[in-house]
Amino acid sequence: MARAARAVVAAGLLAAFTGCAHREPPAPDTSPSVALPEPLPVTAPPQPRSGSSAAPPSSSTPGSAASAGAPDPSLLPQTHDRPEASGAAFDARVSALWAAIAADEPERAMPFFFPLGAYQQVKDISDPASDWKRRLVAAYAHDIHALHASLRDQTARATLVGMEVPETRARWVDPGEEYNKIGYYRVFGSRLRYSVDGETRSLEVKSLISWRGEWYVVHLSAIK
């Protein structure tokens, strides 16, 4: 009987040893092979149902105030797009110039002035920002004050008609022609037309140049 009991115990030990030999040891709790959770699937944002009051995404008109996050056009590269003296953006800039002359407030006309970021890209001079502010913008303000004074008592009765740009005379100015390192379209002799008591009159806008297919004033009454 003793021999039989010992045989049973030995058989059990052998079975336990054999079973352990065929199993992998458990991985430690800090194993780096633990898989990360599966990412959630990307889904499109829900679309408004038919008849919903949700507004569509807004878009900005070139030359108008940029929408939140939109890049400043004056900091983008120049293009060879030929500008046109028409459209909502152009009309808004012309209206800003007229409002500045009528109110004798030059800062109101700055949307129509060639922007600083573009001027810094265009001009091949040592300090384009200073030249822009101290020479060009100063002359622009001076000319607006003078044009307002020239209207005298007509200001209250004058209304804007529009701007006439001789676009057939516009030409592309190549780099190097006017201390410029980037080309642009330029046109001389535009006319800002207004009406007083039914009579159409005009003021000369000496020089417009282009940036990314839009006209801007660079010299108003004289090239200085």
Q: Which pLDDT score is estimated for 109?
A: 98
- Specify the amino acid at residue 212: R
Q: List pLDDT tens digits, range 4-27.
A: 445 444 444 444 444 444 444 443
- Residue listed under structure tokens 């417009």: 208
Q: Which pLDDT score is estimated for 69?
A: 76
Using the predicted structure, report yes or no on whether residue 82 has a pLDDT greater than 60.
Answer: yes
CA 102 to chain centre: 29
Q: List pLDDT tens digits, range 55-73.
A: 333 333 334 445 567 899 9
Instruction: Name 33's Cβ contacts closer than 8 Å, sequence gap at least 6.
Output: 27
Rounded to the nearest 10 degrees, how much is the dihedral formed by the CA atoms of 7, 8, 10, 15? 140
State if pTM tops 0.85: no
Q: List pLDDT tens digits, range 172-189.
A: 999 999 999 999 999 999
- Specify the amino acid at residue 48: P
Q: Which pLDDT score is estimated for 125?
A: 96
Using the predicted structure, report yes or no on whether residue 43 has a pLDDT greater than 80.
Answer: no
